[in-house]
Structures are given as structure tokens and as C-alpha cells.
Structure 1
């Protein structure tokens, strides 16, 4: 370690890696950042940013062809110019990649960027096979692994011999397929299934169990109901047993028969990019490929840290960035931890799904005695005036104290209202506290207040804005 501060190697350039590099450099470290592919990682290039642009475009297309106000407003299905939408999408991706990643790294005197693939030699050095063919040895005092994850591909017979799509390649399709089959029913699967359906595809979703099977069952049921209303077919308890591709057509064998489509999207989860790092040889523990990291982001090897989707932490870019930032502090002599006890999660279907904290089942498993209430959106004034009352807000509270333990919401703008629930949980508020707070009238977040009030009263008997 030099007098000027530690030398830190950062592997990757996504949310976790960038946060770690910037924080460590801010605290006096010299940083070498190593990236084998495109600077910026998954979120800006092939994940959050392009997917939300696609989803938003699909939402606009849906509203132009169908809305709750069609009796008074003319509706006309739009013509979809996919190449133009794709150009707009990728243009914004390139802008954000430069503004938030490439430009920052280019101008930062404390961070050196190497383009190549890193592999640990031992716990203090890396071999980097540079993209130009040379090799460079990087010695470090501490290292951060932030290599992210990639789409996981199930071992379905025949699948590997077909031109199937992943979430990455689906986002850059230059045309909307007439028919699409989606294998998977978790977050990415349901988001992209609805987006492509709204842009003109006839979509069939194959769910091994049920949609969003890790969520409260009511969440999956609400999303499935929304899909049915839009003509998206959901086949539950259905798996692909074989895939073939003949005459430009996918044939997918299932227990429900052989299904045919023009495109097949495989969205069955993600797998960490840790295969080629030589982790086992240096003693970094992994489980199923995911690096085991503690709440300080430290691995089982002293001075080697990890954050983001390559670890066993939840796969959200804001978790990755928070973890990377804390690793940057800890690698430079600090002591900070990542608390995920009130972590929000959002699924960008329509209606949106947003959650924080414990579900009823999780709270019970953890030994809590719980009270729960579920508020139908017909009791939320904003939903009524929007003529969009499909969905619910559910609260899980500790019995006796009333302390809020979790919220699950399936509503329009659920992703916006959930942060209020996060702050309430951080403050250890009770449902009584929430019910007594001032909330702006005719907002979706007012639904949290109304749901909290249902623990002590019948909100259907209240006047507008009543407390």
C-alpha cells in the first residue's frame, strides 16, 4: 500500500463496480478498473434503461388503442415503426452510457481503465488479457468483483440449436413478431411479455408453476388477470420439454401440446458472471456461481470484496450501487454495512407491482404474529377517477404493536408509492401512525393511508379525505 492510499482493482464497470471505483477514488485510493466488454454493465446497456423505454412505448401504444375513456375519446391502434422506436431507444442508451459511465471514467484522474478480461492469479494480483491481445499483470491491495450476471438458459432439449431470444437480444429486435412464446414467468418474463403484446405480438407465457411465484400469491393472480384482459395467454404448471426451429418457426413441445411461434423468448432468470475469475483457486466461496459476501461486501478472502448481481444479494441495480459504494468505503479503511431490511422492488407491468419488507407468509415463517389488511382499489379515490380499479394494496403488520412489516401493491404507479412505505418501515412506524398522517388527496400513495386505516375502521364508510 502506498502512502497515497491503497491500490484497488475493480473488475466490471456496471452499477456496483462504478460506485465502488468512484467512492474508493474519492477516499484517496488509486483505482484500476477492468472491463472486458461495453462500459456501463447491464443496466444502462441491456437492462433497466432499454427495457423501460420499450415498456413505456408499449404503454403509450396501448393507451392509444384502448383506455377507460374510449366512450368519450376516439381510440385508434397506432402503426408501430419498430426501427424508429429502436433507434430512439438506443440513442438514449448511448447518451446515458456516456454521461454516467464513459465520460466520467475518461475525465477521472484517479481511475485507470483497462479493456480486457481479468483472472485472479492469487489474492493480491490479477492477470488481464487485454482486448488487443496483450496481457497485463495488475497487483492490488484490495479488489472489488462487480462482474454482474447474464441470462440463464435452461437445459431444454433442442433449445441450444435454435435462434431463441434472451432479454438482451429481445430488446434490440428490429421488428415485432406476430407470435411470441415466453418461457418463464418471473420479473423480466412478465414485463417483456406484456410489452411485446401491447406492440402487436400474440404472446403465450409458459409458467413452470404460476406467474411471479416468489411473490404473495395475490400478486401473481392480479398480474395474470391483467394479462387475460389484454389477451395474453398464461399457461401455468407448464414447461417446455423440447424446442425445434423449422421453416422460420419455433415448435415448443409442452404438456399442453405443441405450440408454434415466430420468436421464442427465454427469460428464466440470470446467472452470475464468475466462471472465468479463478475464484475457487484463491478461496472465494460461491454458491451456485454467486459470490458469498457479507453485509460489508467482503468475501471469504480478506481484501477481496464483491457487490451486485454476481453475488448472493438481490439483483437490483440500486442494491448493486449501494453495495459497491459501501465496498468502496470499507476498502479504504471505513466501516459501513448494507441494510436490506427495507428494500423496495418494482415490476414494471401494468398495473405495476411494488413490494417492500415481508409478505404475510415470510413474516409468519420468521415467527411474527401478524395482522394483515388488503385494500381493494375501488376504495382509492385516485384509482376511481382514473377508472382503473384492478389491483390492491396489502399491509402486513406486527400483531399488538401495529409496526409495519411489509407492503405489497398492485396498482398504477405502485413504483412511486412504495418508497413512502420504505420510509415508514425505516422509521418503524405503525399502521396507526400511517393512518394518522397527512397524504395528498387524489394520489395513489393515499392508498397507503387508507389501507392503514382499515386496521381500525371501515374506510368505505368515510367521506372523502376523512381521517
Structure 2
């Protein structure tokens, strides 16, 4: 007979969103049950954000060795021990893992069950021979790699982001199907670690981002030696003596290894959501603006909720839930204000509307300003002037969107995130004092450029002449 546990909140999924809700609720005195069938920390810690950034960091060191000569230091081809690189990746995971561990959460008073959860009713789940009844449920099961039904794919081994970090031998030629953020990041990292790399993308590279900015990333990838094939569909996968062949429109690209990076799908399989009265579709569980499912006692957060699939969005969702469930505040999800970053070199970061979307929404009532890092003294000192800051405002100067491509773009974007979230005007940036020499000065300079045509216009010159009478 199944043991029954009663709780205030039952959370399914121990990724970033689920863990944040569990920690918050437990520390506020609520009885919490956390169910996780896989690794604590979810995709971000184990197969996503953390390992990919650790791999990118290693690749960056190799790239720096190859190009040290521009600083008067002799360049050389780095001796890459790919197995040791992966040791570094897993050491980083292990260092962070205690923060997300079962032991830590049990120390907070959370009941942790390491089993698969299945709904058996609108307010009940079973997991590992135990029945959990709760006042509220939170589904935070995340997403998994989407593997398209390409002819022949099942006949060859292939990587996804969930398996590629277990590989300890450098690929001779990695073929990446998918030119989104995951595909681009993994392609560049492997290329800089010494593998030959080809990206196959059915649309254009990083097609959800501003094409003016993505072109700068694409140029760097090509300079790194990556072959980019855009507007090409993988029709068939074949096994070859070298490893794998990908047939596209007019040719077959042959490589040693294959990475599938064409997107992700919400993890809803085997939850038996029908028994709970929870409706879902291909994009994820249907939720309202308070992240409630069609069963108002069951919430969904993070990737499984069908919105933006970013770790920081899952964390934001958790804060919305804590206010809704525990503080009884009608907090609403506003993830449209969430920034996103592709951690290539150079980084690409965006918040709010891009130029195309802004023109579609506001017509000619927008203003677009840019400031290139070519005119930034810190970038010149570092001999890395790739990229720019690009800002879109309405005619009154209210910031509608910002995009940055360049070194540290994700960090440089944060003031624009604050500006858009709080509805500030671009004048905020002209008023601030930016430390010199920093790349952050570009944020102030682009804001100054917004006013330059008016400031240095004949009309202003005439005004200054008139005022000079009073000298």
C-alpha cells in the first residue's frame, strides 16, 4: 500500500525553477515535496549552461594562444588534451553541484523523492511507491532536445547537448545540424579546440536575432574556419566509413561525428496530465498570466510552460509563483522583458524589440542608434573592436530594445534591461558617468549619439550664438 505524504507544495522537477520555488517555500515555513527522476540541478547544471560555458572558456584559452602575436607574444598551436578539457568541464559541474544537491534541500526541510512522478488525480501524484497530496503543484520538468525524424538518423550515433559533454575524444569533423545558440556555441568551441566543424541550418544562422548583429558573429565563425551552410535542409543521414554523412539539397557532407541542435521540446511525457485536468500542446503546458494551468491548483514554470526557454526565465517564473502561492499576490508573468544571450565569441545579447519588430509595431515612429566598439578606447587597447551597441527607441526616447554584439555583451546589456523594465528614456544613459576606459562607455556614447543631430544642428548653433551675447 502506497505511503501518503501531505504537503503545501509539491514540485516536479529539480532544475533552476523548481529548486528556486522549493528553497523559497521551505524557508518560509511551508511543507515542500520535491520530486526529481534525474540529476539534481536539471539541464542547466548538468548538460546545458554550466558545462557549455566551461567548454567555451577552455576553447577561448586555446584561441588566445593561437593569436597572442598581436600583443607581442609568440603565437603557437595549443596542445589540446580533449579528455582533460572535459575533466575541467565536469570539475566545474561538481563544484556547483552542492548548491543544488539533495542534501542541501533536505537540510532546508524539503522532502526529496528521486523518482518519476505521475498524476493520478487533480491533486495527487505517485512517485516511487509514495502518494503525494498537496494544496498546490508546480510542474518544472524543463525540456529535452528535439530530434527531428530525419531519414536514416536512427542508423547512426549522434550527440545532443545531453550527451556531448560525455565525449572525451576530439571529433575529427563535427557536423552540427542547427544554427541556433546551442549549435553555434558548440560549433565554435569544438573548432577552437581543434576539430573541423560544419554547421547546417535550414534558415539563417541565429535566425531569432537581429541580422545586422548576427552577421558579425557569423563572420567570426567563418574566420575561425567553420563552414556554415544556410538555407539547407538535411534530407537524409547515412553511415559512412568516416562516420556519418548528411545529405542536403545538392551534396553530402561527410564528418566523423554529428550533433543535433535543432531546438528543444517540453518534457510532459508520462506525467499523465490528463488525469490532473492539465491541458498542454506541442509548445508546452497551457498557462495563464499567473502561470496557472487549466487546473488552477497546478502551475507550470520554465521551459515546460511553453515560453522563453532560458534558465533566468525559469528563475523569474519561480519568483512569480512565490508571490502568487505564498504571499497571495496576483503577480503576473512578464517574461517578454527577459534578455537572451548567445555565448559565442563575440557574444550576442538582446532585450526588447529588435529593429524589424519595432518597425512593424511602430512604423517610422522609432529611432535607431549605433555605437561601434571600433570607437571604444578599451576595445582598441584589447585589440578586439568587433561589434557594436544598437538601441531602438520611440520618438520620445523611451527605450524599446537594445542589442549588443561584442566581448562581454551579456554583461553590457544589463543596464538596458533595467531601462526597458522600468520604462526609462535613453537620457538616463547620457546622465550617468561611465568609468574610463571601459567597454561600458559605449552605452553612454550610443545614448549621446541619439541627441547628436539635434545638439549640433544649425538651430542649436544659432541658439548658442544668441546666448553668447550675455557673456
- Alignment correspondent of 1:26: 27
CA-to-aligned-CA distance 1:35-79 (integer Å, 9 cap, x gap): 111111111111111110000000011001124x43621011211
- Alignment correspondent of 2:16: 15
Distance in 1 separating the partners of 2:71 and 2:440 = 28
- Alignment correspondent of 1:65: 66
- Alignment correspondent of 2:374: 378
1:310 Cα deviation (Å)?
A: 0.9
Q: How does 1:226-245 map to 2 (within 5 A)?
A: 226-245=220-239
- Alignment correspondent of 1:75: 75
Query: Does residue 102 in structure 1 map to residue 102 in structure 2?
Result: yes
1:387 Cα deviation (Å)?
A: 1.6
Query: Does residue 360 in structure 1 map to residue 355 in structure 2?
Result: yes
Query: Does residue 439 in structure 1 map to residue 434 in structure 2?
Result: yes
Distance in 2 separating the partners of 1:251 and 1:84 = 29
Contact 1:355 1:407 in 2 (8 A): yes
1:333 Cα deviation (Å)?
A: 4.6
Give SS of 2:302's match. coil
- Alignment correspondent of 1:464: none
Query: Does residue 139 in structure 1 map to residue 133 in structure 2?
Result: yes
- Alignment correspondent of 1:167: 161
Distance in 2 separating the partners of 1:325 and 1:101 = 20
- Alignment correspondent of 1:225: 219
Give SS of 1:353's match. strand
1:364 Cα deviation (Å)?
A: 2.7
* Number of equivalenced pairs: 448
Distance in 2 separating the partners of 1:256 and 1:182 = 18
Q: How does 1:255-334 map to 2 (within 5 A)?
A: 255-334=249-328
Distance in 2 separating the partners of 1:362 and 1:140 = 43
Contact 1:238 1:256 in 2 (8 A): no
1:346 Cα deviation (Å)?
A: 1.2
Contact 1:19 1:328 in 2 (8 A): no
Contact 2:174 2:258 in 1 (8 A): yes
Distance in 2 separating the partners of 1:71 and 1:29 = 57
Over 3 Å counting, the alpha-carbon distance change for 1:209 and 1:289 in structure 2 is closer
CA-to-aligned-CA distance 1:261-311 (integer Å, 9 cap, x gap): 011111001111102111234332223151122332211211101101111
- Alignment correspondent of 1:119: 118
Q: Which runs of 5+ in 2 are unaligned?
A: 1-5, 457-471
Q: How does 1:188-203 map to 2 (within 5 A)?
A: 188-203=182-197
Query: Does residue 39 in structure 1 map to residue 34 in structure 2?
Result: no
Give SS of 1:362's match. helix
1:386 Cα deviation (Å)?
A: 1.7
Distance in 2 separating the partners of 1:375 and 1:127 = 56
CA-to-aligned-CA distance 1:10-33 (integer Å, 9 cap, x gap): 101011111111122223321111
Give SS of 2:157's match. coil
1:6 Cα deviation (Å)?
A: 5.6
Distance in 2 separating the partners of 1:388 and 1:203 = 24
1:178 Cα deviation (Å)?
A: 1.4
Distance in 1 separating the partners of 2:60 and 2:299 = 40
Give SS of 2:337's match. coil
Contact 1:274 1:289 in 2 (8 A): no
Higher helix share: 2
Over 3 Å counting, the alpha-carbon distance change for 1:287 and 1:362 in structure 2 is farther
Distance in 2 separating the partners of 1:141 and 1:283 = 15
Distance in 1 separating the partners of 2:240 and 2:256 = 10
CA-to-aligned-CA distance 1:101-148 (integer Å, 9 cap, x gap): 333213122x101111111111110122x2xxxx22211111000001
1:341 Cα deviation (Å)?
A: 4.3
Deviates more, 1:310-319 or 1:179-188: 310-319
Distance in 2 separating the partners of 1:103 and 1:346 = 32
Contact 2:370 2:389 in 1 (8 A): yes
1:100 Cα deviation (Å)?
A: 3.1
1:448 Cα deviation (Å)?
A: 1.1
Distance in 2 separating the partners of 1:60 and 1:45 = 22
- Alignment correspondent of 2:386: 390
Distance in 2 separating the partners of 1:71 and 1:439 = 27
Q: Which runs of 5+ in 1 are unaligned?
A: 462-467
Distance in 1 separating the partners of 2:36 and 2:428 = 48
Aligned-residue RMSD, C-alpha: 1.9
Give SS of 1:235's match. strand
1:454 Cα deviation (Å)?
A: 1.5
Contact 2:7 2:33 in 1 (8 A): no
Query: Does residue 86 in structure 1 map to residue 86 in structure 2?
Result: yes
Distance in 2 separating the partners of 1:443 and 1:295 = 39
Q: How does 1:415-454 map to 2 (within 5 A)?
A: 415-454=410-449
Give SS of 2:116's match. strand
